[in-house]
């Protein structure tokens, strides 16, 4: 199943609020019940409207799901944006990257969990939210580490692209375990322990 971009004409403020409620209700419903068990009726009830209104905005459950994934992906990108100036201190800057990524995954964890579970049946949806959305973050982190190698602060043999992949994988795994109560790391700031350990490992 592929995701087609969802475009919408200008709408009134009242209609925009209804659309937002439907998207939030759908995100919660998909996160709690999975993609198959969530129904348009329950989503509409959760949003305080009826199915006719839902279909007027989104036409179908599939288009609603596509809109939820696209909006969630955009939120993830915005929170995860690390294009600002860095201090030059490796630990401080990696903690900045780590916090941005951790905040993003915590905000979107319901949909992330759902799409991990649905990954084999809906690979394109999973790729949209969990794969493609990370590319700008990986590129930014890899470029930053290359500058740190040139400055002599990071080991010269480090493959920065590989590190970026491992960095986000470790942080996502940590977030999923901590939010499930399965980790010995602190639920609120345990990501910092992950970042510090990885920073020590690549310091020159």
Write the pLDDT tens digit of every residue in 178-191: 988 999 988 888 99
Q: Are residues 33 and 81 in the same domain?
A: no
Write down the mean pLDDT value for the chain: 87
pLDDT at 1: 46
Segment 73-116, tens digit of pLDDT? 888 888 888 767 789 999 999 999 999 999 888 888 888 888 88
Q: How confident is the model at residue 132 (pLDDT cuts 50, 70, 90)?
A: confident
Q: Are residues 35 and 121 in the same domain?
A: no
Domain membership of residue 183 as a residue range: 73-202
Q: Are residues 154 and 86 in the same domain?
A: yes
pLDDT at 8: 54
In a domain, 8, yes or no: no
In a domain, 1, yes or no: no
Count of domains observed in the chain: 2
193 φ/ψ angles, rounded to the nearest 5 degrees: -65, -40
pLDDT at 11: 63
Range in 48-57, 83-92, 105-114, 126-135 the model is least confident about = 126-135
Average pLDDT estimate for 145-167: 96
Question: What share of the chain has pLDDT > 90, as a percent?
Answer: 52
In a domain, 184, yes or no: yes
In a domain, 3, yes or no: no
- The pTM for the full model equals 0.78
- In the predicted structure, residue 173 carries a pLDDT above the cut 50: yes
In a domain, 65, yes or no: no
Range in 11-20, 42-51, 153-162 the model is least confident about = 11-20
In a domain, 17, yes or no: yes
């Amino acid at each position: 199943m592929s995701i087609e971009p969802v475009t919408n004409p200008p709408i009134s403020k009242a209609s925009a609020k209804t659309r937002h409620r439907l998207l939030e209700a759908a995100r919660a419903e998909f996160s709690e019940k999975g993609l198959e068990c969530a129904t348009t009726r329950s989503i509409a009830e959760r949003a305080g409207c009826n199915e006719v209104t839902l279909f007027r905005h989104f036409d179908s459950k599939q288009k609603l799901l596509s809109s939820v994934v696209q909006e969630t992906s955009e939120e993830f990108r915005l929170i995860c944006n690390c294009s600002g100036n860095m201090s030059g201190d490796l630990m401080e800057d990696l903690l900045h990257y780590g916090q941005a990524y951790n905040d993003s995954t915590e905000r979107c964890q319901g949909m992330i969990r759902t799409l991990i579970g649905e990954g084999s049946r809906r690979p394109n949806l999973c790729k949209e939210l969990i794969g493609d959305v990370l590319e700008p973050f990986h590129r930014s982190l890899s470029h930053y580490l290359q500058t740190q190698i040139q400055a002599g602060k990071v080991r010269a043999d480090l493959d920065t692209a590989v590190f970026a992949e491992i960095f986000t994988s470790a942080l996502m795994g940590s977030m999923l375990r901590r939010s499930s109560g399965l980790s010995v790391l602190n639920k609120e700031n345990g990501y910092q322990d992950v970042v510090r350990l990885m920073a020590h490992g690549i310091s020159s």
